[in-house]
Structure 1
Amino acid sequence: MTEINRDEVFNKVQDAFVELFEIDADDIKPESKLYQELDLDSIDAVDLVVHLQKLTGKKIQPDEFKAVRTVDDVVDAVVELLKEK
């Protein structure tokens, strides 16, 4: 991913949710709450971080991910990560 495109990032994040957690793609919307609506737990969050690190090739600091509550928050975090040199 050279040029950062939010839609592309969303699609990659959506694919990750489908692949890692077997969540139906139609249920994954930007406003979906990770813990309440998508039923993720803290172990799932760690799995997601590891997957995103592999996808981006960048280290994600746990503190940066603590505030993430929705799918859109995940997309924002990945976009910011990709902007870093």
Structure 2
Amino acid sequence: MESKEIISITNKFLVEEFEAEPGLITPEANLKATLDLDSLDYIDMVVVIEDRFGFKVKPEDFQAIVTFQDFYDYVTTRVKQKELV
């Protein structure tokens, strides 16, 4: 799966699941602030990621994610790791 496809899928579910304004989702924007996420929202996001991309998310992985680009990079890396197995 290519990075562009991952970003497209990710943005689509962020808009659908978290009612995010598409124009506010930019690579440099702060993920938590833009989506107004609380701890339950993170759990919802983990469930959606695992369902859509087929890999398990470790809670500690989210500590390093600040921007949407960080999020895209994380998902892309994990998808590529899964594809190698």
TM-score range, shorter chain: 0.7 to 0.9
How many residue pairs were aligned? 82
| % identical equivalent positions | 34
Cα offset for 1:16?
1.4
Cα offset for 1:36?
2.2
Q: TM-score, normalised by structure 1?
A: 0.85
Tell me, in whole angstroms, the C-alpha distance in 2 between the residues paired with 1:25 and 1:54: 22
**Structure 2: 5+ residue stretches without partners:** none
Q: TM-score, normalised by structure 2?
A: 0.85
- Does 1:19 pair with 2:16? yes
> Of 47, 57, 77, which aligns to 1:50?
47
Tell me, in whole angstroms, the C-alpha distance in 2 between the residues paired with 1:70 and 1:43: 19
Moved over 3 A (4+): none
**Structure 1: 5+ residue stretches without partners:** none
More helix by proportion, 1 or 2?
2
